[in-house]
């Protein structure tokens, strides 16, 4: 993985080792209060409290009412029964805590994250690779970094698509996975299975980044790292659990999915092309010119063929692997406004292309991804200096349109 990805895996971050919730770092130290009441009133027998766990991290409602809190998240049983808003005091971080790097100590929540992964949250790439993903899911017990990547993606997917909040657990698993993948890449393994495990972990980390509000730079960094690993370390994919993950294989699979008879409404593509032309004076660095050139070719490609537009778009995800480290750092620099506008145009045109290329009944595994992309785009537009605001007109109007439609189709990109 590129050196840039280390920024997203701060080694100073720590995770807990909890059996009920990774967020509650002191729950592993709870002890059962087995002491019986030693005094009696009115001749009554002492009341046994055996089996009661002291509520050290109980919610505010239970503490105020002085009742036992079973500390279930996101809502404890007493609050659920009384229809109260359940909230907890912040969890103190013990000085001696360490990252939970051994997934053998699984919580019940982790099992839920794993189930979400294998049933719903499998990454969309490689195309039609469900069998390979099931093999990788089975391999995760052998590779800690893959287990954490799988659980982190499952936690993020649940958070985005349900009312539960597992952001803390998702981040903890993500940090450990990135740290351990980097350790693996410092001395790359030679076995195909180990290389497949690394590649699968990267796919999970990329897909998880697309569900994180501030994950844009992470997303691009790990995509670049993944392509470099395939090119430099793996090379031959024929013996991989993902044998179709090649340029030729991806294009062949894409041809089976694309429809060529629905290019009547090109309104969004026209607006995209006009907005992109406005950016040309901002493009200065050689790598920006190369990236802009690929992005500009999407519109004329769509006029000729939906499949050509799809393949041109796919090239944009492979292209940063050709950049030097310095060029890539500049590409994802949020204060490089020209590059940031290019990236946002790329993320948004994904949805314009998919609306033409894909059938409306095409299943989408992460519909919430659309709202994350909208947030990336709007945050980028808001951060632009006043003199750049005129370049964000299409960004803002297309975000409004995307938000108002139920359509969440995007191409089969991470």
Say how far apart CA 67 and CA 376 lie, in whole Å: 43
Give the closest residue to 302 by CA, choosing from 292, 294, 310: 310
Could you give the C-alpha distances from 318 to 110, 220, 240, 314, 408, in angstroms and in order?
33, 10, 19, 7, 23
Could you give the C-alpha distances from 344 to 211, 273, 317, 366, 399, in angstroms and in order?
16, 13, 13, 19, 11
Whether residue 40 contacts residue 46, with contact meaning beta carbons closer than 8 Å, is answered with: yes
Could you give the C-alpha distances from 301 to 214, 296, 314, 321, in angstroms and in order?
31, 9, 13, 23
pLDDT of residue 262: 67
- Give the orientation angle of helix 144-161 with respect to helix 167-186, to 10 degrees: 150
pLDDT of residue 271: 95
Say how far apart CA 111 and CA 320 lie, in whole Å: 36
pLDDT of residue 47: 39
Q: Indicate the DSSP class of residue 53.
A: E
What residues contact residue 346 under an 8 Å CB cut-off, 6+ apart? Answer: 295, 313, 316
pLDDT of residue 105: 63
pLDDT of residue 174: 95
Give the Cα-Cα-Cα angle 365, 371, 377 (nearest 5 degrees).
130
What residues contact residue 326 under an 8 Å CB cut-off, 6+ apart? Answer: none
- Cβ atoms within 10 A of the Cβ of 20, count? 18
- Give the orientation angle of helix 369-383 with respect to helix 337-357, to 10 degrees: 150
Say how far apart CA 276 and CA 316 lie, in whole Å: 15
Say how far apart CA 299 and CA 352 lie, in whole Å: 11
Could you give the C-alpha distances from 12 to 77, 173, 319, in angstroms and in order?
35, 14, 32
Residue matched to tokens 């349900």: 162
Residues in a beta bridge with 32? 53
SS3 36: coil
- Measured in degrees and rounded to the nearest 5, phi and psi for residue 257 equal -105, -25
What residues contact residue 179 under an 8 Å CB cut-off, 6+ apart? Answer: 9, 11, 99, 101
- 65 burial via Cβ count (<10 Å: 0-12, 13-18, 19+): middle
Whether residue 170 contacts residue 177, with contact meaning beta carbons closer than 8 Å, is answered with: no
SS3 298: helix
Say how far apart CA 399 and CA 108 lie, in whole Å: 38
Whether residue 235 contacts residue 243, with contact meaning beta carbons closer than 8 Å, is answered with: no
Encode the chain (414 residues) as per-residue pLDDT tens digits. 444 444 444 444 433 333 333 333 343 343 334 333 333 334 444 434 433 334 456 888 888 777 888 777 778 888 888 878 888 776 544 433 444 555 556 778 899 999 999 999 988 877 777 888 898 899 988 999 999 999 999 999 999 999 999 999 999 999 999 999 999 988 888 888 898 899 999 999 999 999 999 999 999 999 888 888 887 777 777 888 888 777 787 778 877 888 777 666 788 999 999 999 999 999 999 999 999 999 999 999 998 888 888 888 988 888 888 889 999 999 999 999 999 999 999 999 999 998 888 888 878 888 899 999 999 999 999 999 999 999 999 999 999 999 998 888 887 665
DSSP structure string for 361-394: T---S-TTHHHHHHHHHHHHHHHS-GGGGGGGHH
pLDDT of residue 186: 87
Say how far apart CA 162 and CA 185 lie, in whole Å: 35
- 82 burial via Cβ count (<10 Å: 0-12, 13-18, 19+): exposed
pLDDT of residue 91: 58
Whether residue 68 contacts residue 62, with contact meaning beta carbons closer than 8 Å, is answered with: yes
Residue matched to tokens 């890539």: 328
pLDDT of residue 31: 38
């Amino acid at each position: 993985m590129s050196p840039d990805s280390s920024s997203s895996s701060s080694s100073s971050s720590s995770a807990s080792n909890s059996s009920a919730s990774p967020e509650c770092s002191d729950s592993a130290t709870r002890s059962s209060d087995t002491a019986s009441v030693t005094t009696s009133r009115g001749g009554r027998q002492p009341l046994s409290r055996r089996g009661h766990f002291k509520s050290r991290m109980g919610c505010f409602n239970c503490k105020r009412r002085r009742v036992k809190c079973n500390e279930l998240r996101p809502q404890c049983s007493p609050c659920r029964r009384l229809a109260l808003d359940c909230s907890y005091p912040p969890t103190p971080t013990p000085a001696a805590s360490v990252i939970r790097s051994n997934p053998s100590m699984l919580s019940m929540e982790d099992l839920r994250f794993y189930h979400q992964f294998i049933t719903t949250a499998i990454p969309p790439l490689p195309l039609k690779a469900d069998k390979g993903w099931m093999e990788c899911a089975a391999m995760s017990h052998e590779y800690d970094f893959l287990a954490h990547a799988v659980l982190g993606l499952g936690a993020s997917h649940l958070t985005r698509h349900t009312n539960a909040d597992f952001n803390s657990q998702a981040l903890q698993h993500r940090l450990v996975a990135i740290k351990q993948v980097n350790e693996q890449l410092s001395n790359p393994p030679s076995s195909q299975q180990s290389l497949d495990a690394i590649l699968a972990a990267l796919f999970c980390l990329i897909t998880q980044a697309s569900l994180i509000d501030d994950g844009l730079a992470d997303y691009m960094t790990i995509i670049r790292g993944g392509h470099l690993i395939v090119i430099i370390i793996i090379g031959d994919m024929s013996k991989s659990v993902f044998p179709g993950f090649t340029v030729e294989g991806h294009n062949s699979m894409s041809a089976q999915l694309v429809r060529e008879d629905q290019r009547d409404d090109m309104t969004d593509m026209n607006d995209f092309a006009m907005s992109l032309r406005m950016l040309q004076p901002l493009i200065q660095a050689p790598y920006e010119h190369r990236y802009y050139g690929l992005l500009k070719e999407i519109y004329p490609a769509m006029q000729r063929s939906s499949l050509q537009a799809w393949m041109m778009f796919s090239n944009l995800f492979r292209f940063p692997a050709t950049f030097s480290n310095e060029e890539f750092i500049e590409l994802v620099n949020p204060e490089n406004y020209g590059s940031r506008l290019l990236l946002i145009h790329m993320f948004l045109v994904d949805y314009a292309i998919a609306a033409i290329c894909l059938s409306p009944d095409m299943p989408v595994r992460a519909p919430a991804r659309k709202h994350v992309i909208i947030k990336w785009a709007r945050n980028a537009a808001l951060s632009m200096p006043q003199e750049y605001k005129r370049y964000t007109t299409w960004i803002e109007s297309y975000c409004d349109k995307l938000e108002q439609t139920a359509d969440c189709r995007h191409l089969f990109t991470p």
